[in-house]
Each structure stands twice: as structure tokens, then as C-alpha cells.
Amino acid sequence: MSATANPWHIFATYSPSCWAANYKDYLIYLGSRTAHSYPSLKEVEEIVRRIESVKLPTGTDWNRHFLRPRAVYFDDKHENFSVFVDYLFPRSQEDTTLPPATLNESFRDGEGLHSDGTGSWYTTFWDVRYVPCLQISDHFHLDHKDYYEPFMHQYMVGMARDRFLGDM
């Protein structure tokens, strides 16, 4: 099977309910509450599609805005998602970042991931962290370990790092 036929590469971690995954060019941790398996990849792909649908301010090669999914936690008992995203932006451009309300037009915090017009399912909570960065630094990388390590506990249990988007 070719790599394009299976865009996911999933690896076990030290926890039985947490997996590290590579999808497209993202490193995403996947977690579940009680299941023995990671969340539905089809649903995670929909989450990534929403993230990618946000039109960010344009910039140069060393001066860009990025939305990076960090983790997706699925509470399989209550069938809801907690999604962790970092909004990376140049330190000098804080005044050009999209406000939480604009992001929420795409993310729809606290609403269903899917809707048929009469009902919705998979309520999804979005934890978006704004991260100023110096992209010309040799320390900068879109998926640097510093964006993950301090928050692994939150990623594994679906708890907000600070607060969810709807709380902002």
C-alpha cells in the first residue's frame, strides 16, 4: 500500500489511551476516554479540514500565521471531542491575528461536529492557544516539542490548557 493511500501513521505512546499520529504534515496526539482505540480518523480528518478552512493573514516565508492541530481527545462515553490547536503568529504581528470570534465562525465551539439541520452530533470543544513566535530563530519549528510536552496531561484527558474558545 502506498503512503498516499494511507495518509495516517499512528504510533503507540506510553499510555494505553493515547497515540501519536502523523497526518499530512501534522503531528497530532489522539486520545480517548475509555476506548481501546483512537478516535475515528474520519472525524479527525473533518476536524483538520475545519482548521485548514480558516483564512489566515498572509505573510512572507519567515513571517506567517499558522493554525496547528496538537491533539484530539474523544470522550467516547459522551461522544464529544476536545480539540487542541495552536495559533502561531509572528511576534511583530500580534495586532493582525484573527480574534477568537472569527476563529469560532469556522470552529463553532460547543456545537456538533456534524449537523443535519434538525440535530447535531459529536459536540466539539476547541482549545485555541495564541503563540507569538520568532520564525527566523533556529529554535523555531511548527511542531517543536515545547508545544506538546507542557500539555500532555491535558491532551490525554481532554482538559483545556487554559480555556476553551467559547469561554474567551
Q: Mean per-residue pLDDT for 16-43?
A: 94
Give the tens place of pLDDT for each residue, 53-69: 999 998 888 889 999 99
Q: Across the chain, what does the average pLDDT equal?
A: 92
Question: Sheet containing 120-133: which strands, arranged edge to edge?
Answer: 8-12, 18-23, 26-32, 66-75, 80-90, 120-133, 111-115
Q: Return the pLDDT at 4.
A: 59
End-to-end CA distance of the chain: 44
91-133 pLDDT per residue, tens: 988 899 999 999 999 999 999 999 998 999 999 999 999 999 9
Q: What is the pTM of this model?
A: 0.92
Number of other CB atoms surrounding residue 139 within 10 Å: 8
What are φ and ψ of residue 153, in 5° steps? -60, -45
pLDDT of residue 160: 93
Q: Does residue 1 carry a pLDDT above 80?
A: no
pLDDT at 165: 74
Share of the chain above pLDDT 70, in %: 96
